[in-house]
Amino acid sequence: MRKTNEQSMKEVFDELLKAYGLDQRMAEKKLINAWPNLCGPMIARYTKSIYIKNKVLYLHMDNAVVREELMFSKEKLIEKLNTEAGAVVIEDVVIR
């Protein structure tokens, strides 16, 4: 039998991202895009901006009550985000 060197497009794409070190950035982008679905419509409505830098998620919130609520559930939020990404993408959350 002859061996073939066949791979699916997903496997090739994942290897390419990993080779260029872009897999972390793709996971971060996936989390940012999934934010409204992960946190719910009320929290998403009050989220002014969201970005990730050095495994820290920065959230700018318009509402002080929502901000305090997120601060109390910070560990649960980190766990939920990393579960969604399938890897450790977020180590800390800064809420402003």
60-83 pLDDT, tens digit per residue, is: 999 999 999 999 999 999 999 999
Confirm whether pTM is higher than 0.75: yes
Q: Are 90 and 52 in contact (CB under 8 A)?
A: yes
From residue 11, alpha-carbon distances to 17, 29, 86 in Å are 10, 19, 16
Share of the chain above pLDDT 90, in %: 67
Q: Is residue 79 part of a domain?
A: yes
Please report, for the domain that includes residue 85, its CATH number. Answer: 3.30.300
Region 7-13: mean pLDDT is: 86
Task: With CA atoms as reference, report the closest residue to 57 among 47, 42, 66, 69.
Answer: 47
What domain range is 71 assigned to? Answer: 22-95
> Which amino acid is residue 53, in one-letter code?
K
Q: How confident is the model at residue 12 (pLDDT cuts 50, 70, 90)?
A: confident
**pLDDT value at 54 more than 70:** yes
Q: Number of folded domains in the chain?
A: 1
Q: Are 57 and 81 in contact (CB under 8 A)?
A: yes
**pLDDT value at 1 more than 80:** no
What is the secondary structure of 22-43 as a DSSP string?
Answer: -HHHHHHHHHHHHHHHHH-HHH
What is the gyration radius of the CA atoms in the chain, in angstroms?
17
Which pLDDT score is estimated for 3? 67
Q: Is residue 1 part of a domain?
A: no
d(CA 22, CA 38): 23
